[in-house]
């Protein structure tokens, strides 16, 4: 009886893990369920985890990530910033917990499929909300407006990230095994790819373009391929900008009321990160914070003070003060929060990952996506960010899985 229960838990464990990531984008709607699932998964972990499973954690990347967490905890205690750093620390520890809980899983395709389905449902619900907005307003204005916030099920930034994962995971499954219903994964690949352009997610579009060029480095005659891909991507972008007016408005801030301004003036006037990063730069110039950091809560306070002083336009200043924007850059955030050593430890994890998996496309693509996303977002201020950070780290940590992917991929080339 005990053995049968254990076998049932082993069989259902990957599905529970997959369900957790399926629900991740819908956290605002089913907030209690992911937490309940985490508890159930943790109980299952203690029932089925074996001693040999922990050997997976001997990966240098995991060791470096653990060193970073130890540094964060020590820094928080020594500097007296424990309470100030608690929220970010909790998110990082959640990522760590997800990695450890994943070690009994032998086949991650269930988790990958769950994320793919999650991305499809995000797109479906977002399209439904967009249709309601169009019915209400009579227009589809998705460039630099509040409509994107009102229509999408979650922030455009994270919709873009989910779609990128949908593209990568669909492509990964297509390359690893021959399926009778391959058409479904081609469908999810295409719909996720196109939706990124539909919602005009700038960082997601840029990441997709980089990944397309990155893929060519893993193919024969890559110089010839790069030229062909460059022409193809350029043509596709030209068509996309012609068909979707929101892309031009999103990338070039084109509106009727700022037509007289050049691109630099428009960016300075309308891109929030120009103000955010300017204020972050002012904080970085304070040499006293380079070693110990000021604590994450203090960063927010200092940024709010900067917004209040630096922004001249009253409406724009009020908007920034209400939103209380963080640094929107994970590396700057760690530098300001816990000092230069913490930031370097965190960045070193990406460098080590790229070096360790430089000959494998999928791990390189995963870590590239995560690194570039961190350039414009501080993902440890949100539970969703810590979930996806943990997921990507899980996929690059388990080398045997990645080697198998690459082996099967070459067979299907």
Q: What is the pLDDT of residues 322-339, one digit of tens each?
A: 888 999 999 999 999 999
The DSSP H or E segment spanning 263 is helix 263-270
The reported pLDDT for the residue numbered 402 is 47
CA distance 263 to 275: 16
The reported pLDDT for the residue numbered 18 is 95
Encoded tokens for 81:
């910033």
169-203 in b/e form (b: 16+ CB < 10 A) is: bbbbbbbbeeeeeeebbeebbebbbebbbbbbbbb
The DSSP H or E segment spanning 89 is helix 82-101
Q: Which of 341, 313, 384 is nearest to 155 (CA)?
A: 384
- Give the pLDDT mean for 288-308: 88
The reported pLDDT for the residue numbered 40 is 94
**Which sign does the torsion angle of CA 350, 351, 357, 360 carry?**
positive
Phi, psi of 331 (to 5 degrees): -80, -40
- Give the pLDDT mean for 216-230: 82
The reported pLDDT for the residue numbered 259 is 46
The per-residue pLDDT for range 41-51, each reduced to its tens digit, is 999 999 899 88
Confidence of residue 274 (pLDDT cuts 50, 70, 90): confident
Mean pLDDT over the full length of the chain: 85
- Give the pLDDT mean for 98-120: 94
Residue 6 has pLDDT above 80, yes or no: no
How much of the chain exceeds pLDDT 70, in percent? Answer: 85
Highest mean pLDDT among 53-62, 367-376, 400-409: 367-376
211-216 long-range contacts, CB within 8 A, separation 24+: 211/164, 211/168, 211/365, 211/368, 211/369, 214/361, 214/364, 214/365, 214/368, 215/361, 215/365
CA distance 171 to 185: 7
Residue 68 has pLDDT above 90, yes or no: yes
Phi, psi of 219 (to 5 degrees): -120, 155
User: For 379, which DSSP code?
Assistant: G
**333 touches 325 (CB < 8 A):** no
Residue 191 has pLDDT above 60, yes or no: yes
Q: Which of 168, 58, 170, 40 is nearest to 103 (CA)?
A: 58
CA distance 366 to 174: 16
The residue with tokens 């455009």 is 156
Confidence of residue 264 (pLDDT cuts 50, 70, 90): very low
Confidence of residue 113 (pLDDT cuts 50, 70, 90): very high
Residue 56 has pLDDT above 70, yes or no: yes
Residue 96 has pLDDT above 90, yes or no: yes
The reported pLDDT for the residue numbered 338 is 94
User: For 178, which DSSP code?
Assistant: -
Encoded tokens for 294:
């000021």
The reported pLDDT for the residue numbered 257 is 47
User: For 140, which DSSP code?
Assistant: -
């Amino acid at each position: 009886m005990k053995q049968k229960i254990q076998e049932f838990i082993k069989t259902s464990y990957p599905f529970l893990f997959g369900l957790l990531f399926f629900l991740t984008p819908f956290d605002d709607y089913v907030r209690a369920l992911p937490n309940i699932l985490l508890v159930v998964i943790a109980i299952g972990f203690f029932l089925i985890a074996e001693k040999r499973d922990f050997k997976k954690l001997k990966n240098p990347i995991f060791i470096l990530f653990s060193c970073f967490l130890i540094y964060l905890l020590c820094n928080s205690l020594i500097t007296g910033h424990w309470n100030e750093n608690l929220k970010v620390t909790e998110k990082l520890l959640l990522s760590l917990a997800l990695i450890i809980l994943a070690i009994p899983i032998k086949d991650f395709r269930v988790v990958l499929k769950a994320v793919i389905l999650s991305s499809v449902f995000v797109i479906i619900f977002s399209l439904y909300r967009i249709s309601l907005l169009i019915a209400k307003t009579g227009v589809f204005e998705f460039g630099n407006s509040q409509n994107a916030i009102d229509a999408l099920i979650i922030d455009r930034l994270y919709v873009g990230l989910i779609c990128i994962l949908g593209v990568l995971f669909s492509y990964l499954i297509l390359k690893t095994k021959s399926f009778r219903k391959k058409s479904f994964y081609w469908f999810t690949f295409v719909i996720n790819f196109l939706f990124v352009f539909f919602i005009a997610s700038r960082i997601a579009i840029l990441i997709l373009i980089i990944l397309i060029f990155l893929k060519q480095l893993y193919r024969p005659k890559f110089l010839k391929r790069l030229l062909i891909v460059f022409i193809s991507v350029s043509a596709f972008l030209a068509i996309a900008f012609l068909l979707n007016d929101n892309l031009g408005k999103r990338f070039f801030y084109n509106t009727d009321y700022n037509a007289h301004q050049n691109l630099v003036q428009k960016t300075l006037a309308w891109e929030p990160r120009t103000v955010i990063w300017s204020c972050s730069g002012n904080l970085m110039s304070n040499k006293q914070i380079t070693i110990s950091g000021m604590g994450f809560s203090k960063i927010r306070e200092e940024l709010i003070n900067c917004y209040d002083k630096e922004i001249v336009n009253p409406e724009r200043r009020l908007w920034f003060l209400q939103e209380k924007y963080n640094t929107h850059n994970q590396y700057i955030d760690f530098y300001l929060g816990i000092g230069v050593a913490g930031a370097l430890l965190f960045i070193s994890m990406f460098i080590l990952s790229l070096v360790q998996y430089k000959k494998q496309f999928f791990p390189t693509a995963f870590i590239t996506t995560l690194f570039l996303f961190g350039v414009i977002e501080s993902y440890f201020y949100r539970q969703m960010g810590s979930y996806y950070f943990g997921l990507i780290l899980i996929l690059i940590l388990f080398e045997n899985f990645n080697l198998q992917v690459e082996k099967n991929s070459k067979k299907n080339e």
